[in-house]
Amino acid sequence: MLSRCPAFTRHVIGFLVLVLLTTNVRSGPRYSSRIVDIKTGAIRGIILELNSRHLEPVEVFRGVPYAAPPVGPLRFRLPQPPLAWPGTRLADTFGAVCPQKLPDISNRTAALQTMPKGRYQYLKKLVPLLVNQSEDCLFLNIYVPGSGNRGFEAPYAVLVFVHGESFEWGAGHPYDGSVLASYGHVIVVTLNFRLGILGFLRTKASFDKSESSAENLGIKDIAAALRWIKINIAAFGGDPSRVTLVGHDTGAALVNLLFVSPSSKGLFKRVVLLSGTALSPWATIHNPDTLRLTVGQQTGCLSGDSPEENDDIAPCLRSRPLQALLDVQLETVRFMPRIAPSLPVDLQTPDPSFAMEHASENFIMCEVMLGTTTTESYSDFSAADIQYGFEEDQRNRVLRTYVRNAYVYHLNEIFSAIRNEYTDWDKPIQHPINIRDSTMEALSDGHTVSPLIRVAYLHARRGAKTYFFHFGYQTKDSEYPQRLGSVRGEDVTYILGMPLVGGMPFFAQNFTKQDMGVAEAVLNFFSNFAKTGDPNAPGIHKDVPDYGTLREKTRYRGLVWEPYEVSTQYYLSITLKPKMKSHYRGHKMAVWLNLIPQLHQPGDDDVSMRHHHFHEREPHYYAGSVRAESFTRLPPPLHPASMTDSHIANGEGTECVPNTTADDQLVDDDELNLSDDETGEELLQKLATRHYYSYTAALGVTVGVGCLLLLLNMLIFAGIYYQRDRDRRRQNHVRSSRSNSSPSTETIPMSHRPSSPDNSSRQSPIICRKEKQELPPSYSTIPKSPSRTDVPSSNTLKKEKPPPPVRTTSNLSGGTVKKRVQIQEISV
C-alpha cells in the first residue's frame, strides 16, 4: 500500500514512525487534574511520565502566551500584554515558532561544504521541529515537577532557558525540560522570541535616540516573558524571587545584555552563561545603519543610498508581506552573524563592557555561573576540514579571515600574535590534523572562551559570587570526533538530563552508565545553583543507586566546587575524572585578554587607516567572505579591554595572579568628579591617570620593600663575614703565641723517646726549657735536618741504640738541685 502513496506521504509517515519509535514518554500525555488560574484566564496542562522509575511525573503547560501576537500594527513594536481568553485553555500543544529562514540542508553534498557531518546530523533532527512558523509566536512552555501536587520543596525555584543556535532561527520547545524539572525539583521554562529582521532590525537611524525606535525587540521579548513569570509563576507553584536565567550560545549573549541592563532589575536573581557572552565579537553588530539601508532598499521602503536618512521604515515594513522580509539577502561575513543585537540595547546601557567594568547594580547583585566546552569552533569548518585537516597556508587564510572580520586596527600585528601563539615551533613539520586542532583552538579561544573569562573576571573582582566550569566530557556514542573533545552544545544534553531517560527525539543517542553518572552530577550542580546560588548544596537524588555506576557517583560526591576568584581563578573540570583546576588556558588567555587588546588601538591621530589594514588584499589570501575595509577612524573605546592588571598566567594555567588591591578596583563616577559636559577623551585620560598613579604607587612600594630587604641581607652577610674573619684571626694568634713561647723545644712521642729507668719519663713528654743561665760545656744541640726527603722508610732504618741522656747537676737559686734532661734530636 505504501508503494502507491506519493513520495511526500511516505516521508511524512516515516517521520511519524520515527517519532513514535524514539519517544521516551512511557505513556501518552494525559490532562492534569488541576486548573491553574492566572491573570489572563484558566489553564490546564498535561502529565508526562518519564522513562525512569526514579523520576516522578511532570506537569507540562505548552504554548502559553506571554505577550500579544506581534502581528499587523504590532509588528516592529514593543511586546504588549497578552490577551485574555474565555473558559479554560488546554495547554497541550507547542505554539508556533517565530518566522525564520532555516539553514539549507536539502542538498547533503552542498551542506557538507559549509558544515561538518556532526552538525549536519544535528540539523537534520532540529529543522523539522521548526517548520511550523507564524508571527503569532510569543509563547513559553512550563515544566512543573509532580503531577499537579506541590512537593515538599514548593515553592520551586525557576530556571528559564533561552535557546541559542542563531540570531536568525531557533525555538524553545526542542529543549525539553521535563527531566531537569523532575530530577532537580525546579520549574523549567522555555520560550520563543522574535528573530532575524523582525527581532533585531533597527528601523531608525542610529543617531535617533527616541524610545519609539524599534530595535532589539528579541531582547525585549525575553524581558516581557520574565515579567510574565514574575507575575504568574506563583500560580504554578514557583518562587518569583528565585528565577535563574540560562542562556546558551547566542542566547547567552542576549542574557548577558539583559544582565547588565538596569531595566531588567528584579526580574531574575541568578544567571548562567553557556558558550557565549555579550563581549564575543559575534554578539553584536556595529553597522546597524548599513543593515537598515539594505532591508529598506530591498523591500522598497528606502529610495536613497544614504544610511543616515532619518525615516523610520517600520510603518512601511508593516505593510510588506512576511515572505518579503524573509527573502531579504543580507551580507554574509564568515565567523560573524548577518544580523545581531545592536548597541545600545537601551538608553541606560550604552555599552555592556563599560557597564560590567563599572559594575552596574544588577551585574553585582546576581550570582553567575559560566561554562564552556573544549571545542567551541567545530561548526566553523567543513566536513573535509574536520576529516582530513589542512596545511599551514589554509590555516593562515582562516586566521587572516577571522582577524579582518573581528578587528579594525593593527590587523597584521594581531594576526602574527595569534599565529605565533598557536604554532608548535618545536615541530617544524606539522601534520594537517594537528594544524586543524590548533586552528580550532585559536578560534574557540578568540570568539568564545576569552570573553567568558573576561566576564567572570569582571564579576568576581567586585566580590560577587562566580562559578566557572569546563565541560570536557564527551559522549561515547557521539556524532563528533573523539579527538576534538566536547563540542559546543554537548553540555546542554547533560544539563537537561537526557542520558537518564535514554534521550528524547531531538537528543536520541545510546547513553552509557558513565554518561548517566555525569548527567546526574550536572543536574545536581545546576538545580542546586538555581535554588541557593551554590552548586555544592546537597543533591536530591544523591543516594539513588540506579543512575550511573558507583564509581561515577563517588567521583562527584566528594567534590567541592570552589568559586571563581580574581586571585585563584578556580574552575571545575567536568570530565570522566572531575577535579578543580585554576586559570583555564592561562597563557593563551593572556594573549587574547592582554596582548591583543593592547595591539587593537587606533594609535595617533596622524596614523592612516591603511596602516592598520592587511598587506594581502587579494581574495586568495582569505578563506571565506570578508567585510569591506574601513577607511573611517572609529572613536576610541571608553573602557579598557585588557586584563593586564591581574590576568598574567603561565603555561596551561597553573600560575596564580596576585590579589587585586583596593587601588585596582574600579571607582564610581562620583569619586572621579565627572562633569556632564566632559568628553570621552577627557574621561579616558582621567581614568588612565588615576590608574597610572595607583600603579606607580604600588610599584614604588614594591621597589622600596625590595631595596630594604636587599640592604638587610647585605648587612647580615657582612656581619657573618666579619665574625668568621675575627674568629680566624683569633685562632691564628693563639697558634702563633704557642709557637713563640717554645721555639727550640719539641715534643717527642713516647714511641720515639729513649728508654729510661725513670717511669715518669714514659708517662708524658719531657719539655726542655731554656734557662737564663749558660748551658754547661757538655751540652750541645743537634740541629734539625733541613730536608726529610732522604730519610729512609721505617722498614729500612737500622735500629740503633739511642745515646743515653745527658744529665747535668747545677746549683739553682733556692738551694735545690734539679735534674735536667736534654733529649737531643738525632738527625739522620
Q: Please give the Cα distance from 368 to 470 (Å, whole number).
A: 15
Q: What residues are paired with 190 via a beta bridge?
A: 141, 161
Residues 245 and 341 in one domain: yes
Residue 485 backbone class (left: φ over 0; alpha: ψ -120 to 50; beta: rest):
left
Distance CA 59, CA 511 (A): 25
What span, in angstroms and rounded, lies between the C-alpha atoms of 240 and 221? Answer: 18
Residues 514 and 442 in one domain: yes
206 in a structural domain: yes
Domain boundary among 570, 603, 619: 619
The answer to the question of residue 691 being in a domain is no
| Cβ atoms 181, 58 nearer than 8 A | yes
The DSSP call for residue 378 is G
Claim to verify: residue 342 and residue 404 sit in the same structural domain? no
> Three-state secondary structure along 205-247?
CCCCCCCCCCCCHHHHHHHHHHHHHHHHHHHHCEEEEEEEEEE
Last residue of a domain, one of 585, 604, 619: 619
Residue whose C-alpha is closest to residue 468's, from 482, 455, 486, 481 = 455
Q: Which three cell numbers stand for residue 813?
A: 737559686
Beta-strand pair 238-248/579-582: unpaired
Residues 216 and 310 in one domain: yes
Residue with cell 674568629: 727
Q: Give the number of other CB atoms < 10 A from CB of residue 289.
A: 18
Instruction: Give a yes or no: residue 592 inside a domain.
Output: yes
Handedness of CA 457, 461, 462, 468 (dihedral sign): positive
Other residues' Cβ atoms within 10 Å of the Cβ of residue 135: 18
pLDDT in the model for residue 820: 45
Q: Which residues pair with 370 in a beta bridge?
A: 273, 468
Backbone angles phi, psi at 113, to 5 degrees: -80, -15
In a domain, 781, yes or no: no
What string of H, E and C letters represents the secondary structure of 767-806?
Answer: CCCCCCCCCCCCCCCCCCCCCCCCCCCCCCCCCCCCCCCE
Residues 140 and 241 grouped into a single domain: yes
Of 360, 364, 254, give the one whose Cα is nearest residue 639.
Answer: 360
Kindly tell me the burial class for residue 814, based on how many C-beta atoms sit within 10 Å of its own C-beta (0-12, 13-18, 19 or more): exposed
Which runs of consecutive H residues, i.e. helices, occur in 461-512?
Answer: 490-495
* Same structural domain, 320 and 354: yes
Q: Which domain covers residue 233, as residue numbers?
A: 31-99+134-358
Q: Are residues 350 and 392 in the same domain?
A: no
Q: How many whole angstroms separate alpha carbon 37 and alpha carbon 45? A: 12
**What residues pair up with 682 in beta bridges, in sequence order?**
none
Domain boundary among 585, 619, 653: 619
Strand 187-191 versus strand 238-248 pairing type: unpaired
Backbone angles phi, psi at 157, to 5 degrees: -65, 150
Same domain for 73 and 210?
yes
Answer whether 790's CB lies under 8 Å from 784's CB.
Answer: no
How many domains does the chain fold into? Answer: 2
Cβ atoms 284, 342 nearer than 8 A = yes
Q: What pLDDT is attached to residue 503?
A: 76
Interacting residues of 322 by C-beta distance below 8 A, sequence separation 6+: 99, 135
Neighbours of 757 (CB within 10 A): 6
Residues 53 and 164 in one domain: yes
Phi/psi zone of residue 821: left (φ > 0), alpha (ψ -120 to 50 degrees), beta? beta
Averaged pLDDT, groups of 10, the chain, 828 residues long: 44 42 51 94 94 89 98 96 95 96 94 95 94 97 84 86 96 96 96 97 73 80 98 96 97 94 91 96 90 93 69 92 95 94 72 77 89 96 96 96 93 95 90 96 97 96 94 89 92 94 77 91 95 81 47 71 96 93 96 95 77 80 87 51 45 36 37 41 43 60 90 91 87 78 49 45 43 46 45 44 49 44 43
CATH number at residue 539: 3.40.50.1820
Phi first, then psi, for residue 615 (nearest 5°) are -75, -30
Name which of 250, 455, 223, 262 is nearest 349 in CA terms.
Answer: 262
Q: What is the 3-state secondary structure (H, E, C) of 145-197?
A: EECCCCCCCCCEEEEEEECCCCCCCCCCCCCCCHHHHHHHCCEEEEECCCCHH
pLDDT for residue 749 = 47
704 in any annotated domain: no
Residue type, 227: R
In a domain, 705, yes or no: no
CB 166 within 8 A of CB 509: no
Whether the link from the prior residue into 155 is cis, omega within 30° of 0, is yes
On whether residue 500 sits in a domain, the answer given is: no
The residue whose grid cell reads 529543549 is 175
* 441/575 same-domain check: yes
Segments in 379-495 forming alpha helices (H): 383-388, 392-406, 411-421, 432-444, 450-460, 490-495
Taking alpha carbons only, the member of 644, 473, 476, 425 closest to residue 575 is: 473
Please give the radius of gyration of the chain, using alpha carbons only, rounded to the nearest integer: 42
327, three cell numbers: 527573502
One domain for residues 472 and 615: yes
Evaluate the omega torsion of the peptide bond into residue 344 and state whether it is cis, within 30 degrees of 0: yes
Residue 449 carries which DSSP code? Answer: I
Fill in the DSSP letter of residue 24.
Answer: -
Report the DSSP beta bridge partners of residue 60: 46, 143
Cα(241)–Cα(230) distance, rounded to whole angstroms? 8
Report if residue 575 sits inside a domain: yes
* Rounded to 5°, angle at Cα 555 from 550 and 558: 115
Note the pLDDT of residue 763: 46
Residues 6+ apart with CB under 8 A from 769: 742, 745
User: What span, in angstroms and rounded, lies between the C-alpha atoms of 797 and 709?
Assistant: 66
Same domain, 312 and 418: no
